[in-house]
Structure 1
């Protein structure tokens, strides 16, 4: 699998394939952040990593170049999606996206990922507009929890086979708060850059921005 930075293709392949469970993107990104830090690909404390939840009020979020798609253009209408953005302090490509469900190079530079996955030139109806909740990885790893209840139907049957490992429990004992991360509304968008930056680095649920702010936030981050 190709990478967009110098390093071992085997390392990227191992990070992408060893723990991914289809349709459990929030758990996949949780363990991805841990593995990137443990492997030395990211800072040991995960301080250069950010978890990004993508959704909208309609819970119908179009993303292109997704492995789950059966279309040539790879488009999928996810209810929500979660990816990892790495902001490296050194190197030719300081902003990288790690998307375990993407068919793009792994990782991809943020600019090309945005272009190929969000297709900004494609005019969406307003109800399909995407919003982004950004959470600093060290905070996410402490507070995120999921007992996978969202993946069962009304009869209690799995809608997709769950991971083999035990569900994720937060440090504070919470067993499920995924809904707090993937529920994203236009009214949640923060417009003041200073307030947004502070929330990302201090708040359990980070902060929400719109698509026009996404690249700008990471580029202008101090």
Structure 2
């Protein structure tokens, strides 16, 4: 699948917003199969491997936050897929390989680098997410990098900016148990649910096909 040239590599939340729409428009996925996943923590320092922005051989980089899309197909025996436009892995990659290669939960990290995953159902994300790109400006209101040429994303209810609500997360707020209640919650909560890095695959395995 060819990706639209308007998809940039500096604002992953908008990239994923556009990607979800394109996957649906191209018939690659149904919107109900897509989940937007914000990765961050209370310290805004999260390591991911195999990232294009890295200058290291292993591709590791510290993001303040990162956003990916996970596709959970309804077909039996199908594999969950990860769409990460900033990764050097194949696009898409299987969830298992992405976790193993990019997240590496078995790699021992200091507590300040522990990652939290906010899983949001794509229909809710596309309806409620908004960003006026204020986080791309310095204290004097100047752009720190050129903004995309397309219009900023406004939520259906008129909200112009709520990115901070999606990226604010803490390890103490992750699910205690992954199960039916948490799966039901992801379909109803605007900001989704928070899972730990050792719960991500388990969470998606609980979502019925």
More helix by share: 1
Q: Do both proteins adopt the same fold according to a TM-score greater than 0.5, normalized to the shorter chain?
A: yes
CA distance in 1, matches of 2:168, 2:137: 18
**What is the aligned partner in structure 1 of residue 207 from structure 2?**
221
- CA distances 1:31-87 after superposition (whole Å, capped 9, x unpaired): 1000000100001xx000000000011100000000111111111100000000001
- Consecutive aligned runs of 4 or more in structure 1 exceeding 3 Å deviation: none
2:118 aligned residue: 133
Matched, 1:200 2:200: no
Partner of 1:111: 96
Q: TM-score with structure 1 length normalisation?
A: 0.90
Give yes or no for contact 1:56–1:129 (8 Å, CA) kept in 2: yes
Q: Paired residue for 1:81, among 66, 87, 112?
A: 66
Instruction: Give the 5 Å matches for 1:17-166.
Output: 18-43=5-30, 46-90=31-75, 93-166=78-151
Residue 91 of structure 1: CA displacement? 7.0
Paired residues, number: 207
Please give the TM-score of this superposition, normalised by the length of structure 2: 0.95
Give the gaps of 5 or more residues in structure 1: 1-10
- Which sections of structure 2, spanning at least 5 residues, go unmatched? none
Mean Cα displacement is larger for which, 111-120 or 186-195? 186-195
Q: Please give the root-mean-square deviation of Cα atoms over the aligned residues, in Å.
A: 1.3
Aligned to 1:5: none
Tell me the equivalent position of 1:8.
Answer: none
Tell me how far apart the structure 2 counterparts of residues 169 and 204 of structure 1 sit (CA, whole Å).
Answer: 15
**Aligned-partner Cα distance in 2 for 1:91–1:70:** 40
Query: What SS is found at the alignment partner of 2:74?
Result: coil
Write out per-residue CA displacement over residues 122-165 of structure 1, whole angstroms, 9 at most, x where no aligned residue.
21001110000000000100000000001111122222221110
